[in-house]
Amino acid sequence: MEIRVLKYFLTVAREESITKGAEILHITQPTLSRQLMQLEEELRVQLFIRGKNKIILTDEGMLLRRRAEEIVDLVGRTEREFDEHDNLIGGEIFIGAGETNAMHDLADLIKKFNKEYPQVKYNLYSGNADDIKERIDKGLIDIGLLTEPVNIEKYDFIRLPNKEAWGVLMTKDSPLAKKEYIKSEDLTNMPIINTKRSIVQNEIENWFGVYYEKLNIIATYNLIYNAAIMVEEGLGYAICFEKLVNINDETNLCFRPLYPKLETGTVIVWKKHQVFSTATAKFIKEIMNALKA
């Protein structure tokens, strides 16, 4: 597969039209159609269902779209890294971060690094720890900010000093809002919105003990923003970290910590034995110097 042809494919997939794709790519429609047919022959699959007004990706086409986006992105990154000047630190650093208050610490490190190396650009990807680890393994992310528990055997890492406190997000008019903290038995038979990560669910299950089987888990989430909207609409109680949702006089939300306290650590990780760009390597060194001090 040629990168050029993958870019052709992605353009057509985005526009859902070979005609529009040819216009954007500034090539003729027969040329583009021929390139796509050759790609299908090379892969021995049908990538498109060609309708009257638009084309639709097959399941194989959807898979290729995901992989092609990753390949094109990685090629672009590689080209940009080789374009960096030896005497001027520039380029891009790709960072993945989960939803954690520790992002303030990472942002502070980026701010200090940016003052020293203003030519460096930062690409931030948000997701849970599993998403970020997958992208690190594929070379799409250089550095990840992960919440524990997480398997970090494949990575070099540095642990952040502060921990995240678990609690319950609820509406201000809910019965449990009158409490200072939430015990495991308080949530029995309540509609619960829980984190989707199975390894974290295990930690929460251990905290609840025998009461976990009595929870009425109505939904799961990977990022808290949309879950918070569900809570605000009165759908249930979300088990989440403190300080991730904006709580003020204008919102109908409040947060109550768990008791006994349940806390989670955070780590900054990067792949072992990885050859990084000059900018990324320097930033990792800055992270280690700052957090080991």
Reported as half-sphere exposure (CB side, CA atoms, 13 A), residue 40 has a value of 15
> Cα–Cα distance between 283 and 277 in angstroms, integer?
10
| Predicted pLDDT at 87 | 47
Mean pLDDT of 181-187: 96
Integer-rounded Cα Rg, in Å, for the chain is: 24
Mean pLDDT value of segment 141-148: 95
**pLDDT 10s digits, 31-85:** 999 999 999 999 999 999 988 788 899 999 999 999 999 998 888 877 776 765 5
Question: What amino acid occupies position 63?
Answer: L
Close Cβ partners of 187 (under 8 Å, ≥ 6 residues apart): 168, 176, 208, 211, 215, 237
Per-residue pLDDT of 225-238, as tens digits, reads 999 999 999 999 99
pLDDT at 197 over 80: yes
Domains of the chain, by residue range, sit at: 3-81, 89-162+266-292, 164-264
Look at residue 265 in the predicted model and tell me its pLDDT.
95
Q: What is the mean pLDDT of residues 148-168?
A: 93
* Cβ-based neighbours of 12, under 8 Å, separated by 6 or more: 18, 21, 32, 36, 48, 55
The CATH number for 164-264, chosen from 3.60.15.10, 3.40.190.10, 3.10.105.10, 1.10.8.420, is: 3.40.190.10
Neighbours of 168 (CB within 10 A): 27
User: Model's pTM, two decimal places?
Assistant: 0.71
The predicted pLDDT at position 12 comes to: 92
pLDDT of residue 89: 74
The pLDDT of residue 50 is 86
Average pLDDT over residues 120-133: 94
Percent of the chain whose predicted confidence (pLDDT) is above 90: 78
Q: How far apart are CA 42 and CA 200, in angstroms?
A: 42
* CATH class of the structural domain 89-162+266-292: alpha beta
Q: What is the pLDDT of residue 88?
A: 58
CATH code 1.10.10.10 for 3-81? yes
Return the H-helix or E-strand segment holding 71: helix 59-82
Tokens of 30: 């027969």
Same fold yes or no, 89-162+266-292 and 164-264: yes
Strands 253-257 and 164-171: antiparallel
